[in-house]
């Protein structure tokens, strides 16, 4: 399936080769690349959307990280009736002053950040209200991250919060921003695995997802990793997803 599916494109155009590809199950292709240039990864997501038009039953799951970069979505989360969220909108006129590259993109959400110490999951998936709705897909991504970390001994994580994300008390561990075109999702979840002091200093000048920079935390800050790596976490997370998304 994999070789046929990607025979129509040049992987090198996106900074990829065959070593970055793996079949997770009969329907799911994994593309995995750490510290992947954001522009190339975004371009690849859009190419995957084209490929899925002819093969809507195929799922492409991208697992990656990026060099330090900021991205800005279509707008901050809107409060429900009676809610007060107190989020701070990013002033786009400040984009040129940011210390890292800035991309205006099509996902939901406000300004967010990426760095090499994150695990990012971009599901390129055709939604179906009977088999995989948007809400169930988002819940799955959060739940499998929670289950993986719980196995490692980290408890107290939840995505049952009025603000979308994965939370440990009042600290945010992962962000979610999804775009949908022709019922197919792209963009996704970014989970902070390692802390990044340089990015943390840069965040003090902005409000990622409308929040104070001190709201954000990482797995490394919440627990003793005991030599566990980002690859270890990704592999355990992906095994859960491969088993569930058959």
Active-site residue set: 209
Tokens of 194: 């390692």
Rounded to the nearest angstrom, the gap between the alpha carbon of residue 114 and the centroid of all alpha carbons in its chain is: 9
CATH number of 2-74+89-244: 3.30.930.10
Predicted local distance difference test score (pLDDT) of residue 83: 76
Look at the pTM and tell me if it is higher than 0.85: yes
Spatial separation of the C-alpha atoms in residues 200 and 62, rounded to whole Å: 25
Q: Which residues contact 222 (CB under 8 A, 6 or more apart)?
A: 154, 168, 171, 173
Report the b/e string of 181-204 with b at 16+ CB within 10 A. Answer: eeebbbbbbbbbbbbbeebeebbe
- Residue pLDDT tens, the chain, 246 long: 676 678 889 999 999 999 999 999 999 999 999 999 999 999 999 999 999 999 999 999 999 999 999 999 998 888 877 777 788 888 888 899 999 999 999 999 999 999 999 999 999 999 998 889 999 999 999 999 999 999 999 999 999 888 999 999 999 999 999 999 999 999 999 999 999 999 999 998 899 999 999 999 999 999 999 999 999 999 999 999 999 888
Predicted local distance difference test score (pLDDT) of residue 1: 65
Q: How many other CB atoms are found less than 10 A from the CB of residue 211? A: 22
Predicted local distance difference test score (pLDDT) of residue 8: 80
What are the Cα distances from residue 172, in Å, to 84, 217, 230? 18, 6, 18
């Amino acid at each position: 399936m994999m070789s046929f599916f990607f025979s129509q494109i040049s992987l090198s155009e996106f900074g990829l080769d065959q070593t970055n590809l793996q079949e997770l199950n009969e329907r799911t292709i994994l593309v995995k690349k750490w510290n992947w240039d954001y522009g190339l990864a975004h371009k690849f997501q859009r190419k995957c959307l084209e490929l899925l038009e002819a093969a809507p039953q195929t799922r492409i799951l991208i697992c990656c990280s990026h060099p330090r970069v900021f991205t800005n979505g279509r707008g901050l989360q809107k409060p429900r009736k009676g809610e007060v969220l107190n989020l701070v909108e990013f002033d786009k006129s400040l984009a040129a002053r940011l210390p890292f590259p800035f991309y205006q993109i099509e996902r939901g959400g406000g300004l967010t950040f990426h760095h090499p110490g994150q695990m990012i999951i971009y599901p390129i998936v055709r939604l179906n209200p009977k088999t995989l709705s948007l809400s169930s897909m988002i819940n799955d991504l959060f739940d499998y991250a929670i289950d993986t970390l719980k196995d490692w001994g980290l408890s107290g994580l939840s995505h049952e919060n009025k603000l979308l994300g994965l939370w440990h008390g009042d600290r945010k561990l992962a962000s979610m921003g999804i775009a949908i075109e022709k019922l197919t999702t792209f963009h996704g979840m970014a989970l902070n695995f390692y802390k990044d002091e340089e990015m943390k200093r840069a965040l003090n000048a902005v409000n990622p997802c409308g929040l104070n920079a001190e709201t954000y935390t990482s797995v490394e800050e919440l627990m003793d990793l005991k030599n566990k790596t980002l690859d270890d976490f990704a592999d355990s997370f992906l095994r859960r997803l491969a088993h569930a998304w058959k």
